[in-house]
Amino acid sequence: MSNVRKRAMEAVLEAAEQDIEDTFKENEIADRQSEEADEAVFDVAILYAYRVFVRICEQRGIPADVHLFAELSGDLADEMENDNEQN
């Protein structure tokens, strides 16, 4: 991974971490190991993935379709699960 990509990824992760912290505060989540905390982290991660998807679509002149995002995300999750089972 190039330095530019690494820095970009680090910036996105820092922003996501701040959003996670804000979400914990807003929802008064004190136990960071709780199911509620896990769901908050998952929600922020999915939101960031969707934002990236939208930006890529916009740059390519492709309509960003939330249903397509959900379908492709589900397909990717299935592929990753199958890969993990094979290893």
pLDDT above 80: residue 87? no
- Which pTM was predicted? 0.78
How far apart are alpha carbons 81 and 38 in whole angstroms? 19
How far apart are alpha carbons 39 and 6 in whole angstroms? 26
| Range from 35-39, 72-76, 81-85 that averages highest in pLDDT | 35-39
Pull the structure tokens for residue 86. 């094979």
End-to-end CA distance of the chain: 24
Into how many domains does the chain fold? 1
pLDDT above 90: residue 2? no
Structural domain that includes position 69: 3-86
Query: Percent of the chain at pLDDT above 70?
Result: 100
